[in-house]
Amino acid sequence: MAKHPENKTQTQTHENDRQAIGVDASIKETNLNRLKRIEGQVRGVQRMVEEDRYCADILIQVTAIQKALKAVSKELVRNHLRHCVTHAAHAGGEGAQRVYDELVDLMYRD
């Protein structure tokens, strides 16, 4: 997995080893900070459940976590479209079709 100067990595052939074609450093940093905050929120909700806190108070926190995860997801999609999907579209062929199918599957995943 050789890194390029622009903080890009080559896509691997094995699905579990795949790397992003490009990662916007500011999006990555923002997402990591959000995920750390979400981790703390989840621990807080866990404590609230252990302490038998009022259900509505717990649900408010769960909703906040869901909104934060949605924000992370939005930025991941933005990065995926900007780098990975664009790269595949320019390359064309079977790889492009796989990325298009993957994107549709992501959009309609339950």
State the pLDDT confidence band at 22, using cuts at 50, 70 and 90. confident
Query: What are the residues whose beta carbons fall under 8 Å from the beta carbon of 1, sequence distance 6 or more?
Result: 9, 10, 12, 17, 19
Q: What is the pLDDT of residue 5?
A: 40
Check: CB of residue 65 under 8 Å from CB of residue 41. yes
Confirm whether 30 is domain-assigned: yes
**Total structural domains in the chain?**
1
What token pair was written down for 37? 């905050």
6: pLDDT strictly greater than 90? no
32: pLDDT strictly greater than 70? yes
Q: Quote the domain boundaries for residue 55.
A: 23-107
The torsion angles phi and psi of 15, rounded to 5 degrees, stand at -55, -40
CATH code: domain of residue 65: 1.20.58.1000
Average pLDDT over residues 66-87: 92
Confirm whether 1 is domain-assigned: no
Average pLDDT over residues 88-103: 90
Confirm whether 64 is domain-assigned: yes
